[in-house]
Structure formats: C-alpha cells, structure tokens
Amino acid sequence: MRETPRPQGTAGDAGPGLPQRRTGRAIAHTAGASGSGTPHRSDGRPPHTPRGARQPGPTGHRGTIPPVPRWPVLLVWASVTLPALFLVITWQVLTDGPLLGPDERLGLELAGRGPAWLTDLLADLGNMQVAVPVLACAVLVAWFRHARRAALYAVLAMAAVPALVVPLKLWTDRQGPLTEATGYYPSGHTTTAMVAYGAAALLLAPYVRRSWMTLVAAVLLTAATSAGLVLRGYHWPLDVVAGWCLSGVLLLALRAVTRSGQLPK
C-alpha cells in the first residue's frame, strides 16, 4: 500500500533558514501597545497576580514580603518596662504608698491557702540549695560544649542576686506577712529561682532540639516558686513581682551578652 505523500511546501514558504519574525501577536505583548491591557496578557484581562498589587519589601525589591515584628520588639519593651515597674514598686514600699494597702489585703487573703506541705515544697524551689545546683549543671554542659564565656556570664548573673537583693532588703526594711521581722522586699527566693532557672534555660537552649521547652520549664518553676511563697505567707505579692522585675533585668543582660557573640567560646 502506498502512503499518501505529504504535501510539499510551496515556493512562498520559508526554507530551512532562520525563523522569521512575526509581527502579529508579538506587538500585543509589548508594554503600552494598543489593546494589550497589561504587560503580560494580550486579551485585555488582568493577570492572576498583578505586579502593581505587590508591595515593595524593605530593600525596595518588588514582590517581597513586608517585615514582621519579632522577638526583639518584645525584648526592647521588656527592657524598658521591667526597670520602670521595679522603681515604682520600690518607691511605694519606701513611702508606704497606696499600692501597699491592696497588696497586703491580697497577701493576707491568700496566705495559708492550699496544703502546707505542697506550698512549702513549691517555695523551697527558690532555695539556693535547690536552684543553684540546677544552674551549675547547665554551666557544666555549656562549659564542656565550649560556650565558656556564656557559662561565666551566667555565674556572674547568679552572683549578682545576693549583691543586689541584700542591700535592697536592708534599705526598704519591709515587714513580712505573718511575722514581725523585716527585710522581705524584694523576694530573694523569687529572684534566685528566676535567675537560676532562666539562665539554665538560656545555656541549654542551643543544645536542645525543642529549645522553647527550656524556656517553658524555667517559667513554670519560677511561677511555682512564686505561688508557694505567697500561699505559704512568706512574702507579699508585690515582693514577688519586684523579684520578677529584678530577675528579668539580669536575664535580659545575660541574653544580650551571650547573643552578641552567639554564645562565644
């Protein structure tokens, strides 16, 4: 069977030379051409993602995602708020200000609530004999992982706790909730717990797969200590809040010096 021969090209067809430029639809794709509508489509319809709808990014490139506020904003806010709040509370304690009335009423209302064995156990989490060994273990891990400068900074932050708390206790001379003794402001147990557990979390975070878990553990241990101190009647609530503020300043300073060199060796 003979195959039907294919039609041969006519004399007007282009030969095997270079392709010829066609001028029909190509002009429609030129920006500003008549009937083009957009730089991309020749049928007058807008594209699915028009370039005009995209916003320039922080470096001026079109189509980039705008910057999103992250942790540094929160850290800057905390670095301003914590010292200011600590100064306000200290001023109220020194001048017997109006904040002490609600604070003492709340403290007396909460004191004695809950099982004594449990509140004692929670309050003891802020003892030097409990919190400092936890930090010491984290310091050893960081030291042997060659983050020795960060480990040294954590030790200095812990040493700053009694250096700051003891003079403040002598200066403010505040009486405790269920005792005639004075020297209860700020809470040394709260400051010890927050600095020890917080510094341990900062040291161990680079070596833990889920680094956020170290922060959660530090927050929970500090909250448990604070609750135990207030429920057992060892401290007024404002004593504990002042301990948070003071510890927060120390931890922010520790984070700044360790992150500035990315946990330097």
Please check whether residue 91 lies inside any domain of the structure.
yes
Please check whether residue 178 lies inside any domain of the structure.
yes
Please check whether residue 48 lies inside any domain of the structure.
no
pLDDT at 177: 94
Note the pLDDT tens digit of each residue in 218-260.
999 999 999 999 999 999 999 999 999 999 999 999 988 887 6
Nearest to 153 by CA among 60, 50, 238, 259: 259
Please check whether residue 102 lies inside any domain of the structure.
yes
Peptide bond into 47 cis (omega under 30): no
Return the H-helix or E-strand segment holding 73: helix 71-95
Residue 223: CA atoms inside 13 Å, Cβ hemisphere, count?
6
Q: Number of folded domains in the chain?
A: 1
Confidence (pTM): 0.71
Note the pLDDT tens digit of each residue in 198-224.
999 999 998 988 888 999 999 999 999
Nearest to 201 by CA among 256, 248, 264, 251: 251
Please check whether residue 30 lies inside any domain of the structure.
no
Say which residue, 219 or 37, is predicted with more confidence. 219
Question: Mean per-residue pLDDT for 113-120?
Answer: 94
**Which tokens is 255 given?**
């984070």
* Residue 21 clears pLDDT 60, i.e. is over it: no
Please check whether residue 121 lies inside any domain of the structure.
yes
Please check whether residue 164 lies inside any domain of the structure.
yes
pLDDT at 22: 52
